[in-house]
Each structure stands twice: as structure tokens, then as C-alpha cells.
């Protein structure tokens, strides 16, 4: 045991990862999320249970590396155009939910007799979701490139920015009542905003040019290890500089670094270098959360813990669902976003630490927030399962289905005059890169194109450009009817979710058995599935690239 404590870094990493492998595998065998296993490891090696106690400070710092690499990867795949397409709901939704969740948390604390300052910090900690948990959940379900994923990532970015400002305001709460308190608060807030805007400006102007140039220069050396080092140096260096110089969080700094690297032609190579380390350090994040948790709070304050979990998983989910629905998005999108955001994580812990250091949050607040985080993270897979059950229940009830999917919305319908003139009709489902390419290159004099997409902003833009387009879920028969599927001779399915694509194909063939079906497959497994279903044309990117190369080589040889 002396050796373990003489080598705190090695012992913490070795014990954490080894036990995480065992417990994660056991959780998977029991058909629950491996995250639950990682959290359990943290509890076992934490200071609140007997036996080996890992160095919690080292574990937390290592978990920060995981957050940095994770957000760097998100930035690599983040499209500004995708964010701008969902900016209204991401900005408004995130801010409204933060306010309502903060009020709910403050209300609980008032009932417990806490002062207002403690209640505000407590409520803020309950309002912000964990980036790590959400992205892992969406990656496992292939949702990151869907409209639900775009909205949720935009939502997270707004939440991160809001928490940066909150961390400026919280110290000002400690100064409430002192002379010049209001003026000092205003000055601190203005300074924080100025720093954030300065960081973003530098990244957009200078980083957008320098970082791609740097990685391209390093790649030309042909050294694999030097390129891997460059990737880590960019991710960690920008994140650290953003925090030290501009007061921006590690996560947000890494996200912008990834966005700027995206401008280079080496995006996939960079992602390949970062991904394995990202996964390992993300495991350490969950272990570190478990280490903070004191299981005795479940025995000493069970009703309080239940109240906190209810705010996180039920209260916030209802608010999220209402916001998404009021913006006109379908029920399925609202349920997925609600499930993904029904937990709390890293920013909550940062707020707790800050509140405790300033004497604004009682120790009970820390224990309750950590209990809420642990329970909500552990139950997050169940939240997704519950969202699916709710969706299936609503779909079986026509009145509920009509209510939640807002079929009276004008974007959900083609105009009567459009339906009358439609001829040689093709339906396009999904307006990603492939879908946009089709809309730009299809011959308008030969084919009438009707586009179906979840993204209302994209649908509005298409209509302004003269296209026939509706907002809705193409797995639904009423949406396909609205797109005049009976008149269509072909349907093109380019959605990123393979399970959604299968349901769309089945629904389309049920409504129009003679329709030609064209599908973009995500991988070889999807390719084989659709081929067995006798789909008229199935295209997968790697196979299409290989086919084009072979055609070119054959043409050279024959020439």
C-alpha cells in the first residue's frame, strides 16, 4: 500500500482504469450503461468508502483532459452553418431552461430554509447538463448528426457561455451589501464579456489561419508521433490559454480550437489521433465524479435527494419538451433532447466548488448536487428508454399525436396550389450535405422536388428559394401523405440515423408500393440490410469512392 501512495498518479490511473474495465464490462453484461460501472468504481476508491483511496485531485485533473479532448472533437465536427440553422431554439431554449431550472432549485432550497444566495447557486448547478454524458449518449445512438444532435450541441454551447458569465457573477454575490457592490458586479460582467468576445475574435481571425497551417506543416514531415503531439498541443494549449488569459472554460476553449482545425484538410486524421485518448480520459471523468459522492446522503436525506433528482430528470425534461414543441419541432426531437439533457455534470461541480470556497453554499448543497449528478447520470440510459416509450404511447393515441406534432403548423403542409402542379415528383428526406447537393444539382424542369426535414429554419430557407418543403418526421404516414407520396415516382433518404432511415423506407413502400427508393447507407452493415430489402439504389461513401477510383483506373488502362 505504501507503494501506491508513493506513486499517486500511476496508482490512481492504474487502479481507476483497471477497475473501470471490470465494472464497465459487468454493467454491459447486465445490459446497463458502462457509465454506471465507472461511477461505481469512483465510489469504491473514493474517500467515503473503506479500502484503497485514490488521489481525488489527480483524478479530477485527469478528467479535465478528457473534457478538453471531447470538446475538441466536437469542435472538429461542428458546423457553424448547422448552429446558425438552429440558433433560435438553441439560444432561447438554453437560456429559458437555465432560468426555470434555477428557479426550481432555488425554490427547493427556500423550502429547506437556505438563504437566497445559496439557492441561486444550487439552482444554477441543477440547470446545466454534462457535456461528457450527453455526447457519449448521442454518439452511442448515432444522433450527433441529426437535428436533435445539432440542437443539443448548440444548447450546450449556450449553456457553457452562460456558466462562464455565472462564474463571474457568483463572487459578486458574496459582495452583496458592500459599498460599490453593484458597480463592481457590472464592471466584472463587462470585463468577462469583453474577454470572451476577444478570445472568439482572435480564434476566428488568427486561429482559423494559423492552426490549419501548423497541422499541415507538421503532417508534411511524415512523422506520425510529431503529428499526434501537434494535435494534443493544439487542443491542450488553446484550452489552457483560453482559461488563463481570457477566463474562458477549458471546454469552451478546446471547442473553438477544434472548430478552427476543422478549416484544414486534416480533420479526419486529427480525430483519429485524439479519439482513443479521449475515450480513456472520459472514463476517468466518471470515476472522479463517483469519488466525490458520499453514499451516506442517500440514507440521511433520501427525500431531499429524490426532490433534486426530480428537478433534474422530470422538471427540466418537461420544460425542455415544452420549449422544443413550442418551436414547432416534432415530439420525437423534443423527447430525445429532453432525455439527453436530463442530467448534470462537470459545470455543476465547478459551481459547487466556487460556492463552497466563497461560503455561499452549505455542505449539504454539495452532497445533494453530487447525489443528483450520480443518480441522473446513472439513470440517463433509462431516460432515453422512457422517451421511446412515451413516443410510442403518443403515436398510438391520434389526439395526443396531433397535439404534440402541431399539424396545424403551416410549415407542416404544402399549399393546395403546390399540390395541384406537382408532377414527376421526387421526395427528398434529410437536408444534410448529400441532400443539399441534390437540391442544388437536380434539374428543376424535369423533376419536382419535395423536401422533408426536421429543421424548420432550413425548411423556411428552402421555401424562400422556391422549393417545395415541409417540416416533419418522415417516418409518419401523415407527413408522407402531406408530401404527396402517392404522386411520387421516387424517394431519396439521406438521414444520418440508420433506424430512422429503415422506418422511412418501410412507411414509403407501404403508402406507395411502386415507388423507387434511393438510400444513403452509413456503413457496410446498412448497405447489406437495404440490399436484402431490394432497395433500388443504395450508396455508401467508402464504396462509392472506391467505385469511382476503379472506374478511373480502368479508363486509364483501356485508354
Residue 305 above 90 pLDDT? Answer: yes
What pLDDT does residue 262 have?
Answer: 78
Residue 279 above 80 pLDDT? Answer: no
Quote the strand ranges of 502-550, DSSP E.
516-521, 537-540
Average pLDDT, integer, range 305-312: 95
Please count the helices (runs of H) and the strands (runs of E) in the chain: 28, 6
Residue 316 above 80 pLDDT? Answer: yes
Angle subtended at Cα 255 by Cα 322 and Cα 41, rounded to the nearest 5 degrees: 80
Residue 408 above 60 pLDDT? Answer: no
Residue 314 above 90 pLDDT? Answer: yes
Residue 126 above 90 pLDDT? Answer: yes
Cβ atoms of 34 and 286 within 8 Å: the answer is: no
Average pLDDT, integer, range 458-470: 85
- pLDDT tens digits, one per residue of 201-241: 888 888 888 888 888 888 888 888 888 888 888 888 998 98
- pLDDT tens digits, one per residue of 43-55: 888 888 887 777 7
**pTM reported for the whole predicted model:** 0.72
Mean pLDDT, the chain, rounded, equals 82
DSSP assignment, residue 46?
S
- pLDDT tens digits, one per residue of 429-452: 988 878 888 888 876 667 788 999
- Pick the most confident of 147-161, 240-254, 314-328, 405-419: 314-328
What pLDDT does residue 519 have?
Answer: 92
What pLDDT does residue 84 have?
Answer: 75
| Residue 380: exposure state from Cβ atoms within 10 A (0-12, 13-18, ≥19) | buried
Of 129, 152, 130, 156, residue with least CA distance to 141: 152
Q: Which three cell numbers stand for residue 166?
A: 455565472
Average pLDDT, integer, range 58-78: 77
- Return the number of other C-beta atoms located less than 10 Å from residue 51's C-beta: 7
- pLDDT tens digits, one per residue of 515-541: 999 998 877 788 888 888 888 888 887
Average pLDDT, integer, range 290-314: 90
Backbone phi and psi for residue 237, each to the nearest 5 degrees, phi listed first = -65, -45
What pLDDT does residue 428 have?
Answer: 93
Cβ atoms of 546 and 527 within 8 Å: the answer is: no
What pLDDT does residue 477 have?
Answer: 86
**Three-state secondary structure call for residue 33:** coil
SS3 of 126-176: HHCCCHHHHHHHHHHCCCCCCHHHHHHHHHHHHHHHHHHHHHHHHHHHHCC
Helical residues (DSSP H) of 207-295, grouped into ranges: 208-219, 224-246, 250-261, 267-292
Task: For each of the domains in the chain, give its residue range(s) and CATH number, in order of start.
Answer: 2-395 (1.20.1530.20), 410-558 (3.40.50.720)
Would residue 180 be called left, alpha or beta, if left means φ above 0 and alpha means ψ between -120 and 50 degrees?
Answer: left
Report the alpha-carbon distance of residue 78 to residue 145 in Å, rounded. Answer: 9
What pLDDT does residue 484 have?
Answer: 87
- Return the number of other C-beta atoms located less than 10 Å from residue 268's C-beta: 8
Q: Which three cell numbers stand for residue 292?
A: 466525490
Average pLDDT, integer, range 340-363: 83
- Pick the most confident of 106-110, 361-365, 463-467: 106-110
More confident residue, 51 or 391: 391
Average pLDDT, integer, range 295-302: 89
451, β-bridge pairs: 428, 469
Residue 108 above 90 pLDDT? Answer: yes
In b/e form, how buried is each residue of 88-126, taking b as 16+ CB within 10 angstroms? Answer: ebbbebbeebbebbbebbbebbeebebeebbbbbbbbbb
Residue 402 — very low, low, confident or very high, per pLDDT cuts 50/70/90? Answer: low
Amino acid at each position: 500500500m505504501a507503494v501506491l501512495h508513493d506513486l499517486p498518479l500511476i496508482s490512481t490511473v492504474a487502479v481507476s482504469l483497471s477497475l473501470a474495465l471490470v465494472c464497465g464490462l459487468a454493467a454491459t453484461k447486465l445490459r446497463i450503461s458502462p457509465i454506471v460501472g465507472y461511477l461505481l468504481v469512483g465510489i469504491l476508491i473514493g474517500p467515503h468508502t473503506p479500502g484503497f483511496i485514490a488521489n481525488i485531485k489527480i483524478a479530477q485533473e485527469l478528467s479535465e483532459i478528457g473534457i478538453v479532448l471531447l470538446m475538441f472533437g466536437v469542435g472538429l465536427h461542428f458546423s457553424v452553418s448547422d448552429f446558425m440553422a438552429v440558433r433560435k431554439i438553441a439560444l432561447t431554449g438554453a437560456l429559458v431552461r437555465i432560468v426555470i431550472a434555477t428557479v426550481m432549485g432555488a425554490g427547493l432550497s427556500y423550502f429547506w430554509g437556505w438563504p437566497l444566495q445559496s439557492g441561486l447557486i444550487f439552482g444554477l448547478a441543477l440547470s446545466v447538463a454534462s457535456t461528457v454524458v450527453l455526447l457519449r449518449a448521442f454518439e452511442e445512438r448515432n444522433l450527433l448528426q441529426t437535428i436533435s444532435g445539432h440542437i443539443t450541441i448548440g444548447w450546450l454551447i449556450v449553456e457553457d457561455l452562460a456558466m462562464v458569465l455565472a462564474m463571474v457573477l457568483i463572487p459578486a454575490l458574496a459582495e452583496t451589501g458592500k459599498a460599490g457592490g453593484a458597480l463592481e458586479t457590472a464592471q466584472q460582467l463587462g470585463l468577462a464579456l469583453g474577454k470572451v468576445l476577444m478570445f472568439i475574435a482572435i480564434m476566428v481571425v488568427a486561429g482559423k489561419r494559423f492552426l490549419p497551417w501548423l497541422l499541415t506543416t507538421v503532417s508534411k514531415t511524415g512523422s506520425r508521433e510529431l503529428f499526434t503531439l501537434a494535435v494534443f498541443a493544439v487542443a491542450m494549449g488553446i484550452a489552457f490559454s483560453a482559461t488563463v488569459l481570457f477566463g474562458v472554460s477549458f471546454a469552451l476553449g478546446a471547442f473553438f480550437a477544434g472548430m478552427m482545425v476543422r478549416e484544414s484538410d486534416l480533420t479526419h486524421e486529427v480525430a483519429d489521433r485524439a479519439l482513443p485518448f479521449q475515450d480513456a480520459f472520459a472514463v476517468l471523468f466518471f470515476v472522479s465524479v463517483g469519488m466525490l459522492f458520499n453514499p451516506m446522503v442517500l440514507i440521511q436525506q433520501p427525500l431531499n435527494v429524490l426532490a433534486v433528482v426530480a428537478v433534474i430528470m422530470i422538471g427540466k425534461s418537461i420544460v425542455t419538451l415544452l420549449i422544443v414543441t413550442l418551436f414547432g419541432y416534432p415530439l420525437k426531437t423534443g423527447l430525445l433532447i429532453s432525455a439527453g439533457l436530463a442530467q448534470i455534470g462537470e459545470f455543476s461541480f465547478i459551481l459547487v466548488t466556487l460556492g463552497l470556497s466563497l461560503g455561499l453554499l452549505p455542505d449539504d448543497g454539495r452532497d445533494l448536487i453530487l447525489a443528483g449528478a450520480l443518480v441522473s447520470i446513472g439513470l440517463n440510459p433509462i431516460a432515453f428508454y422512457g422517451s421511446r416509450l412515451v413516443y410510442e404511447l403518443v403515436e398510438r393515441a391520434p389526439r395526443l399525436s396531433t397535439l404534440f406534432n402541431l399539424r396545424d403548423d403551416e410549415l407542416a403542409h404544402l399549399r393546395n396550389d403546390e399540390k395541384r402542379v406537382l408532377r414527376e415528383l421526387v421526395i427528398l428526406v434529410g437536408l444534410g450535405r448529400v441532400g443539399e447537393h441534390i437540391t442544388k444539382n437536380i434539374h428543376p424542369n424535369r423533376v419536382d422536388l419535395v423536401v422533408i426535414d426536421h429543421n424548420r429554419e432550413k425548411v423556411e430557407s428552402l421555401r424562400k428559394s422556391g422549393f417545395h418543403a415541409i417540416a416533419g418526421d418522415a417516418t409518419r404516414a401523415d407527413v408522407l401523405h402531406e408530401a404527396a407520396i402517392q404522386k411520387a415516382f421516387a424517394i431519396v433518404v439521406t438521414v444520418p440515423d440508420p433506424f430512422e432511415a429503415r422506418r422511412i423506407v418501410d412507411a414509403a413502400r407501404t403508402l406507395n408500393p411502386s415507388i423507387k427508393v434511393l438510400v444513403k447507407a452509413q456503413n457496410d452493415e446498412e448497405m447489406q440490410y437495404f440490399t436484402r430489402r431490394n432497395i433500388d439504389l443504395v450508396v455508401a461513401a467508402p464504396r462509392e469512392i472506391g467505385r469511382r477510383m476503379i472506374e478511373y483506373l480502368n479508363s486509364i488502362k483501356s485508354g
